[in-house]
Amino acid sequence: MIIIDRFEGNIAVLETDGGMLEAERSLVPAEAQEGDVLYFADGAYSVDRAATEERRAAIRARLSRLRRNGND
């Protein structure tokens, strides 16, 4: 899995299963945001919308559980 960690100028810092990777910002879709899941095919990155939403939903659920458990 490749996730956009952050942008630093013209560089996209990507989190991969093997560690951090830097890619030229121009190789990442213009609409891509921090936290988006990417896939690499045919020499270009694309946003995996379904995987991104699934990941964000899991994070929201986890935060919700933590908030509920913190109010005990």
pLDDT in tens, 18-32: 999 999 999 999 999
pLDDT at residue 56 is higher than 60: yes
Find, among 70, 60, 28, 24, the residue nearest to 3 by Cα.
28
DSSP codes joined into one string, 4-37? EEEEETTEEEEEETTEEEEEEGGGS-TT--TT-E
Task: Tokens for 11, please give them.
Answer: 């560089």
pTM value surpassing 0.75:
yes
Residue 48 near residue 29 (C-beta atoms within 8 A): no
Report d(CA 68, CA 47) in Å as an integer: 32
